[in-house]
DNA sequence: AAGAAATCATTTGTCAGACATTTAAAAGTC
DNA sequence: GACTTTTAAATGTCTGACAAATGATTTCTT
């Protein structure tokens, strides 16, 4: 692990990259302890604060964890789905909000990905996941539900659908797409009639999943996508007129 | 922005979280300059090194960028697709390698997602993207190509397919899935006959995309998935026997 | 007056050294 | 042997300093 003194990058960034490379390449394996900060500062010929900045960079990506005390230090972290989820959601949310991604673009991506899950979910979903979907549908039918709560329930419904595919990699990839859209969805106000339509489509999708009918679930999702986009278009049009 | 003195978390982690929340909530907008490190250390009542560790955490997630000099400082960064890509790829790669995700699981996720893109790609792909696909097919037919180069070309082919959907959100979501699988794919050795079969399927997919026939492209991808999984199963079986 | 050069002020990057805190192991005590 | 105390090692935090970059200001020159 060597540094390039001519590089424009900060020393701490270079050190972080060197360690990151070692982890990705497998030179440092999970739960392996890195040298202490003092040792690293000697190895890289930099001060301890600089080493620490590098380690914090890696900690921000959940690549390492640190522990205080006699046998403490920095350890290569086993990246788990939960950490990866939350990072992905933060990144996706900001990506959408900062780049003025249109509602249509985000919506299209989301439903395209969900349709990819539906056939798998139709054959594999657990009883529990199906029950979650049904429960969320029930919740969505309750009167007096705020728009935000309706949206949150919508997300929960779709997550259950996605998780039903029983493929953690798919769930991970989709968590970002579904959750990152929530701020956009929250801009929509749902009339009682809108909710009724969505509810009916959710029920249709859940029925298809329960029956193991993948293609029908896909069709239901497509119908839901059309409905969502129409709804959003109306809301934005009304807002523009004002 | 306040800190919780009872929290178990490091001060730098708390400060980073506070600033991160402010960015996600939109309280800090793109290109806005944060207070200087000296000012932040006064605001949060911590020392400058601690503030710096917090800023490095945010920089690691591409949430801020820093500039030296008189009018320098830390600025809220516009998260672009490129940065998000590379983060996603790193995360996905480690997630797969560290959690012993099976080849089948990763493969299934990847092709499910690609099938989600295919219909869109069939109607929207640019001439340039189609040309890229054809060029990669041609490259894959060249004799003397190493397995690694073959895999790299395969990734390029599939990226062109995905990008053809013309939806940057989809491209971003899928970049991770496709590229993260490369290390797994690199474990496979492709015989001349394997390559011929893959080549034929690639050609079929490209033809379908060119003809605007989404369903046929989807079928081609399914066939390619079956082929890939069969190939991998053989390789792993042979390796287990040894 | 205009332009070039020098200076200055501000800000991040880096360093050195110190102390506080946490933690596990070692040593001591009953 | 069980419990307590001590010790050592590591991270967490602070202080203060200087280096380097960079835009703004001032000064000098023509």
Structure confidence by residue, pLDDT tens digits, B102-126: 889 999 999 999 999 999 999 999 9
CA distance B233 to B221: 18
pLDDT at B5 over 70: no
Question: What is the average pLDDT across A144-158?
Answer: 91
pLDDT at A147 over 90: no
How far, CA to CA in Å, does B179 sit from each of A70, B60, B93? 40, 21, 8
Asked if domains A11-76 and A81-241 share a fold, the reply is no
The torsion angle over the Cα atoms of residues B192, B198, B203 and B208, rounded to 10 degrees, is 170
Lowest-confidence range among A1-5, A56-60, A120-124?
A: A1-5
Q: Is the CB of A40 under 7 A from strand C?
A: no
pLDDT tens track for A86-118: 898 899 999 888 987 888 999 999 999 999 999
CA distance A28 to A33: 9
Identify which of B79, B105, B173 has the shortest CB distance to residue A109: B173
pLDDT at B28 over 90: yes
Q: Chain A partners of B49 at a C-beta cutoff of 8 Å?
A: 49, 52
**Partners of B67 in beta bridges:** B73
Contact B199, B225 (CB under 8 A): no
pLDDT at B194 over 80: yes
* Chain B 8-37 contacts with nucleic strand D (CB below 7 A): 10-12
Query: What's the confidence (pLDDT) of residue A3?
Result: 67
Identify which of B87, B167, B177 has the shortest CB distance to residue A91: B87
List Cβ neighbours of B1 (8 Å cut-off, separation of 6 or more): B18, B19, B22, B43, B44
Q: Supply the mean pLDDT for chain B.
A: 91
Question: What is the average pLDDT across A114-134?
Answer: 95
B187 touches chain A (CB under 8 A): no
Question: What is the average pLDDT across B15-31?
Answer: 95
CA distance B184 to B229: 12
Query: What's the confidence (pLDDT) of residue B242?
Result: 64
CA–centroid distance for B195 within its chain: 25
Q: Is the CB of A7 under 7 A from strand C?
A: no
Q: Is the CB of B33 under 7 A from strand C?
A: no
| CATH number assigned to the domain covering A11-76 | 1.10.10.10
Q: Which residue from B minimizes the CA distance to A14?
A: B60
Q: Tell me the two tokens of residue A164.
A: 């039903």
Confidence check on the interface: ipTM exceeds 0.90, yes or no: no
Please answer yes or no on whether A101 and B177 come within 8 Å at the CB atom: no
Question: What is the average pLDDT across B214-227?
Answer: 95
Query: What's the confidence (pLDDT) of residue B130?
Result: 95
Under DSSP, is residue B66 helix (H, G, I), strand (E, B) or coil? strand
**Partners of A73 in beta bridges:** A67
Query: What's the confidence (pLDDT) of residue B172?
Result: 87
Residue-range domain boundaries for chain A: 11-76, 81-241
Among residues of chain A, what percentage have pLDDT more than 70? 97
Identify which of A59, A87, A169 has the shortest CB distance to residue B109: A169
Under DSSP, is residue B33 helix (H, G, I), strand (E, B) or coil? strand
Please answer yes or no on whether A165 and B112 come within 8 Å at the CB atom: yes
In this complex, the residue with its CA at the shortest distance from the C1' of nucleotide C24 is A70
CA distance B163 to B2: 43
CA distance A157 to A8: 48
Positions of chain C reached by protein Cβ under 7 A: 9-18, 21-25
| pLDDT tier, A235 (very low <50, low <70, confident <90, very high otherwise) | confident
- For residue B105, give how far its alpha carbon lies from the nearest alpha carbon of chain A (Å): 6
Query: What's the confidence (pLDDT) of residue B12?
Result: 96
Q: Chain B partners of A79 at a C-beta cutoff of 8 Å?
A: 91, 94-95, 98-99
pLDDT at B128 over 70: yes
| pLDDT tier, B179 (very low <50, low <70, confident <90, very high otherwise) | confident
| pLDDT tier, A5 (very low <50, low <70, confident <90, very high otherwise) | low
DSSP state of B69: S
Q: Which residue from B minimizes the CA distance to A11?
A: B56
Question: What is the average pLDDT across A163-180?
Answer: 88
Q: Supply the mean pLDDT for chain A.
A: 91
Q: Chain A partners of B112 at a C-beta cutoff of 8 Å?
A: 116-117, 120, 165, 167, 170
Query: What's the confidence (pLDDT) of residue B82?
Result: 87
pLDDT at A242 over 70: no
Give me the DSSP letters along chain A. Answer: ----TT-SS-HHHHHHHHHHHHHHTTSS-TTPBPPPHHHHHHHTTS-HHHHHHHHHHHHHTTSEEEE-STT-EEEE----HHHHHHHHHHHHHHHHHHTT--HHHHHHHHHHHHHHHHHHHHHH--HHHHHHHHHHHHHHHSTT--HHHHHHHHHHHHHHHHHTT--HHHHHHHHHHHHHTHHHHTTPPPPHHHHHHHHHHHHHHHHHHHHT-HHHHHHHHHHHHHHHHHHHHHHHHHHHH-
Can you name the CATH fold of B81-241? 1.20.120
| pLDDT tier, A2 (very low <50, low <70, confident <90, very high otherwise) | low
């Amino acid at each position: 692990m060597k540094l390039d003194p001519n590089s424009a990058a900060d020393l701490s960034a270079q050190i972080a990259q060197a360690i990151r490379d070692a982890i990705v390449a497998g030179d440092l394996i999970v739960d392996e302890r890195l040298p202490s900060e003092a040792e690293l500062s000697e190895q890289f010929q930099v001060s301890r604060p600089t080493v620490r900045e590098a380690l914090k960079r890696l900690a921000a990506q959940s690549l390492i964890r640190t522990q205080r005390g006699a046998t403490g230090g920095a350890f290569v972290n086993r990246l788990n789905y939960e950490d990866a989820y939350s990072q992905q959601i933060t990144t996706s949310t900001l990506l959408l909000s900062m780049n003025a991604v249109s509602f249509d673009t985000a919506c299209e991506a989301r439903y395209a990905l969900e349709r990819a899950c539906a056939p798998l979910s139709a054959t594999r979903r657990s009883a529990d996941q199906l029950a979650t979907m049904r429960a969320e549908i029930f919740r969505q039918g309750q009167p007096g539900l705020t728009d935000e709560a309706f949206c949150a329930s919508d997300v929960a419904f779709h997550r259950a659908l996605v998780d039903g595919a029983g493929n953690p990699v798919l769930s991970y990839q989709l968590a970002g797409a579904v959750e990152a859209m929530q701020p956009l969805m929250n801009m929509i106000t749902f009339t009682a009639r809108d909710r009724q339509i969505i509810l009916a489509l959710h029920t249709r999708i859940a029925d298809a999943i329960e029956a193991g009918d993948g293609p029908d679930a896909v069709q239901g999702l497509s119908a839901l996508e059309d409905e969502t986009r129409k709804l959003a278009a109306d809301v934005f049009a009304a807002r523009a007129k004002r």
